[in-house]
């Protein structure tokens, strides 16, 4: 897994955008709301994303997956290394993150996409 693959996958989702925030984080959004974040520089966390409460509880039990700093209360997890989850496991999780954020957008924002 690489940040190039993550970027390509996230931007393949309808109306997804990217932005660099906090000088070193590549943030993927739908309707200006984040659904995934990856670090552009070496860091203790390689990727963070939103998940369901059930997935959150399951994922943080796995080695290399932790509650995301500052965002755990909103059910975000963070991968401590790129190999914590396989690409096959990560694709549906990133798609779910996107769908969770999309579903919470105000109707007028969703209609404008």
Q: Encoding tokens for residue 34? A: 């984040």
Is residue 59 within 8 Å of residue 65, measured between CB atoms?
Answer: yes
- Taking residues 42-54, report their average pLDDT: 88
Q: What angle do CA 100, 67, 88 make, to 5 degrees?
A: 60
- Taking residues 17-34, report their average pLDDT: 93
- Taking residues 23-44, report their average pLDDT: 88
- Taking residues 3-23, report their average pLDDT: 92
- CATH number for the domain spanning 62: value is 3.90.1150.30
- Taking residues 55-74, report their average pLDDT: 94
The model's pLDDT over 65-106, given as tens digits with 9 standing for 90+, comes to 999 988 999 999 999 888 889 999 999 999 999 999 999 999
> Which residues form the domain of 95?
3-112
Give the number of domains in the chain. Answer: 1
% residues pLDDT > 90 (the chain)? 73
Task: Report pLDDT for 2.
Answer: 62
User: What is the average pLDDT score of the chain?
Assistant: 91
Q: Helix or strand or coil: residue 30? A: strand
């Amino acid at each position: 897994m690489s940040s190039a693959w993550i970027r390509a996958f996230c931007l393949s989702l309808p109306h997804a955008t990217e932005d660099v925030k906090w000088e070193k984080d590549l943030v993927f959004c739908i309707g200006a709301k984040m659904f995934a974040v990856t670090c552009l520089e070496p860091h203790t966390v390689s990727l963070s994303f939103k998940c369901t409460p059930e997935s959150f509880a399951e994922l943080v039990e796995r080695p290399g997956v932790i509650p995301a700093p500052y965002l755990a209360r909103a059910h975000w997890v963070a991968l401590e290394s790129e190999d914590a989850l396989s690409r096959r496991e990560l694709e549906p999780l990133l798609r779910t993150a996107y769908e969770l954020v999309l579903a919470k957008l105000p109707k007028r924002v969703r209609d404008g996409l």
